[in-house]
Amino acid sequence: MTTEALASLLPVAPRPAAEERLSSWLSRVAGIYGMSANGLLAHFGLAGVSALTLERGLSPGQGALIAARASLSAQTIDGMTFAALAPHARVMIAPSARYFCPSCAKTPGIGRKDAALPWTFWCSVHGVRLCARDKRPMECFLPERVLERLDPLARRGAARLAAWAEERDAVGEIDPPTIPELLRFLTTSYRRPSPPSLAEQPRLSLEARRANHAFLTRPIVRQALLVVAPEYDRFAPVLAKPVRPGLAALACGSLLQNYALAVGVARLTENPVEHAAAALAAADAEGETNLRRILTTWPSATRRRIGVELRRLTDAQPAGKAPRRRRLQRSSINYARVPQISARLVP
C-alpha cells in the first residue's frame, strides 16, 4: 500500500453488522468522527450523493472508493446495498426500518436491509416476529390462533414477493398471473364503499354514537383482499382495511396490511380459481365489472376455470338468493375508551 493510500484510510471503521444496510453503516462510521453520512461521503470524494441513493446500487468506482477508505473489500460494500433488487422493486425500499424488532432495538444504530422491505415479518437476524412501528405486536391485531394458521401462508407469500423483487419469480414466468397482477386484483373494489356494518361498529353508548356520527357513516372502500383474506376483514380495525391500489399497497402499507397482502398473494398463487371466483360471487354489479377488468390480463384458461367455479357457486344458491357470506362477529375493539374515533386507530 502506498503512503498516499495509507493516509487516506480512516483510522477507525467498524465492520458491518449482519444484514446491515449501507446507509446505516455509513451513519455509524460518520458518527465516530462527528460528521453526517453525507459529510463522510463528501470526504470520500462522493459529494452530492446521498447514502440512501448509493445503497440502491453502486457503480464499480463508487464501491471501490468507499472500500479503499474503510479498508474493506468492494464485495463487502456491495453486500450492504440493495443491488439484488430489480429496478421496478426498489420503490419498496423504506428509508428506515418499517417495523420494530425487540432484539434489534438493543442496537438501535444498526439498520438491517430486510427491515426496509414490506414483506419481512420476522427478523432475519434474530428470527423473532416483528412488531408495528409503534411497538404493538401482531397479537394486538390478530389472535394467536389465527396467526398460527396464517403464518405459513404469509411466509410463502413473502417468499414469492421477494422472488419477484429479485426477478427470479419462476411461478409468475411459467404460470401467471404475476405479482403486480395479483396485487391489482387484491386491491380492486369488489363492492361500492359503505359505512361500517353493525359487525364492524364498536360498542358505543348513544351519546358516543352521536359524537362519532361522522365515523359511523364514513364510506369504507371494500377491496377483494377482504374476501381472499377474510381473517383480515374480521379482525382489522375498520379504518385500516382499505389499502392503496396495486404495488403501492405494499410500498405504503402497515405491518398488518402487508401481512394480509402476503397471505392473499399466497392464496391466489396456490388456488387462484377458487379465491377469484369467491370474490366475484361476493361482488355487486359494479365490483364484478371492476374485477373482470383486472382478470383480462390473466391466462384465458384460468379465466375459463374461474367462470366454471363462479357458476358452481351461484347455482348452489336458491333462486333469487345472494351467495351465502361468512357470519361476522361484532368487533371486540373497545373504541368507547377513545374520546374521538380517528385515523390514529389505523395500525
- Residue 12 confidence (pLDDT) above 70: yes
Residue with cell 374515533: 341
Please state the separation of Cα 32 from the chain's center in Å.
Answer: 34
- Residue 28 confidence (pLDDT) above 80: yes
- Residue 335 confidence (pLDDT) above 90: no
DSSP 50: -
Helix (H, G, I), strand (E, B) or coil at 19: coil
* Run of H or E including 314: helix 300-315
Helix (H, G, I), strand (E, B) or coil at 329: coil
For 248-281, the pLDDT digits (tens) are 999 999 999 999 999 999 999 999 999 999 999 9
Mean pLDDT of the chain: 87
Alpha-carbon distance of 282 to 288, in angstroms, equals: 9
Q: Which positions ≥6 away from 209 have C-beta within 8 Å?
A: 216
Residue with cell 399466497: 266
- Residue 337 confidence (pLDDT) above 60: no
- Residue 341 confidence (pLDDT) above 50: no
Residue with cell 426496509: 116
**What is the structure's pLDDT at 213?**
81
Closest residue by Cα to residue 156 from 262, 228, 231: 262
- Residue 54 confidence (pLDDT) above 70: yes
User: Which of the four pLDDT bands, split at 50, 70 and 90, describes residue 9?
Assistant: low
**What is the structure's pLDDT at 298?**
94
For 184-232, the pLDDT digits (tens) are 999 999 999 999 888 887 777 888 888 888 878 889 999 999 999 999 9
Could you tell me if residue 135 is left (phi over 0), alpha (psi between -120 and 50 degrees) or otherwise beta?
Answer: left
